[in-house]
Amino acid sequence: MNSYLKKLTFSAMLMAIGLALPFLIGQVPQIGSMLLPMHIPVMLCGLICGWRYGGAVGFILPLLRSACFGMPIMYPNAIAMAFELATYGLVIGLLYSRSRWQCVIALYRCLISAMLAGRIVWGLAEVVLLGLNGSAFTVKAFMAGALLNAIPGIILQLVLIPGIMVALNRTGLVRFHRCKDKAVTS
């Protein structure tokens, strides 16, 4: 299978997972949205398919989910999330593809960088979007939305994404380029 078709197929599969995953996680109302279910497939898309596909899936996913299912609400949530998730897919894919070694250590560096960049972009998008209708987006709202309410999702991402990538490495679907310490990636 050629590379383009393979990446397109993986991107479509991860888009479908991103559309469906919030339904499964949403069954636990207390923490369902705190687990950030759409973030995981977008970041995986950036890692597996590259920054272009990760950015595209990240931008389209919340808008498509809002249009199809009404959640998240289009304005301002889905629009701000489109910029946030596009940033996750772009940053993690770009940094990981340019890493000297593609291993678990590099994966964590790229993951944390993408998480920080995405949250900053989300905050800026919220400022602009809410400013358009005369509302204010405070530092307190940013801290609550980007950090405090997201802690369960951040922990899940830090555990699940590297775990999935290690499993994909073991199956041979996605290969790590070994770090200096080979024990880290095996």
In the chain, the amino acid numbered 78 is: A
Our count of domains for the chain comes to: 1
Count of beta carbons in the 10 Å neighbourhood of residue 144: 12
Structure confidence by residue, pLDDT tens digits, 18-53: 999 998 887 776 677 788 899 999 999 999 999 999
DSSP secondary structure string for all residues of 80-111? HHHHHHHHHHHHHHHHHHH-SSBSHHHHHHHH
How high is the mean pLDDT of the chain? 88
What angle in degrees, to the nearest 10, is found between the helix axes of 79-98 and 51-69?
160
Task: Kindly indicate the confidence band of residue 90, based on its pLDDT and cuts at 50, 70 and 90.
Answer: very high
Report the CATH number at residue 39: 1.10.1760.20
pTM of the model: 0.90
Better pLDDT: 68 or 25: 68
Q: Which stretch of 62-76, 84-98, 145-159 has the lowest confidence by average pLDDT? A: 145-159
Residue 44: partners with Cβ closer than 8 Å, 6 or more residues away: 14, 161, 164, 165
Q: Which of 42, 39, 10, 45 is nearest to 25 (CA)?
A: 39
Residue 124 lies in a domain: yes
Residue 7 lies in a domain: no
Output the six-digit token pair for 90: 């772009």
Residue 27 lies in a domain: no
Residue 1 lies in a domain: no
- Rounded CA-CA distance 185/165 in Å is 10
Residue 2 lies in a domain: no
Domain of 126? 14-21+33-184
Structure confidence by residue, pLDDT tens digits, 110-153: 999 999 999 999 988 988 898 888 787 777 777 777 777 788 89
Bridge partners for 122 per DSSP: none
Share of the chain above pLDDT 90, in %: 63
Q: Which stretch of 11-15, 73-77, 157-161 has the lowest confidence by average pLDDT? A: 73-77
Residue 112 lies in a domain: yes
